[in-house]
Amino acid sequence: MYLISTTQRVASSYLQRILHCVTKLPEPYLDATACGFSLFDPTPDDAIERVAKRIEETGSAIYKTHDIGVKDFPRLCARLPQLKVLTISRDFEDVVVSRFHYYRYFWHTKPELGEFPDHLKPVFEAYNTMDDTTALNHLVGTQLVKDWAAEWVAFEGPLDEAKNVIRLRYTHFEFGFLNHLWRFLGLDVPAKLPTFSEIQATEKANTGRDGNARFHRRGRSGEAQEVFTTKTLFRLRALATG
């Protein structure tokens, strides 16, 4: 059984998809917050137990969550020694660009997501008349980006005490450097995996979404350097240091 636990917009859904193609296991989302997990506050032992029991009851699967930070990996792995945990690191400034496009363009194309979150409405409504680059540079001064930074930091801590955990880089997916992933999982290197372009094409065919409105947007490493001013990049990197 596998758990993909990351901050948002780092290719976790793509990782879940390619693992499914190799293992044919189901791909449930795990709402660990509902079980008592917190990215910031100490997580009680009974929350670990609730998640462990939920995983045991569901059985072998490729679970995905954005709610279990690195501080809780050691205890969860100790409780579930058969669990393999995968996390992904991506430069924070690129995460900000991707999250901005997710909320500005993608959210409204998927009615199942419900109403646009109240805490986001005043921020994005203020930027309605701005182009993306201008809006992104204004966004950096908001509490919203500080919150995103705190979430990002929760997945960037050391993994020294965690067993059965691997941290991948976003660039590994961009350039196809995944042999170490298959070794970690004890799986043969697959002969063929769906490319990101193929997944994008499937999304477009099924939903009509294209460009920045796609869930699978294909952001590039270093993209933020083309968007943010030097001063803004400095501020973002300062936030990412915690």
Report how far apart, in Å, the C-alpha atoms of 92 and of each of 16, 73, 218 are: 21, 21, 16
Q: What is the mean pLDDT of the chain?
A: 94
CA 19, CA 117: separation in Å to the nearest integer? 31
Give ∠ CA 143-87-236 in degrees, rounded to 5: 30
**Domains of the chain from N-terminus onward:** 2-240 (3.40.50.300)
Annotate 87-130 with DSSP letters as a single string: EEE--HHHHHHHHHHIIIIIGGG-GGG-SPPTTTHHHHHTTTTS
- Amino acid identity for residue 108 in this structure: H
Residue 155 pLDDT greater than 80, yes or no: yes
| Cα dihedral value 118, 110, 32, 144, nearest 10 | -40
Of 58-62, 93-97, 175-179, 221-225, the least confident: 175-179
pLDDT in tens, 53-76: 999 999 999 999 999 999 999 999
**H or E segment to which residue 48 belongs:** helix 45-58
Separation between Cα atoms, residue 242 and residue 237, nearest integer Å: 9
37-57 confidence digits (pLDDT tens): 999 999 999 999 999 999 999
Percent with pLDDT over 70 in the chain: 100
**pLDDT, tens digit, 9 for 90 and up, residues 191-203:** 888 888 888 899 8
How high is the pLDDT of residue 242? Answer: 67
Number of neighbours of residue 209 by Cβ within 10 angstroms: 19
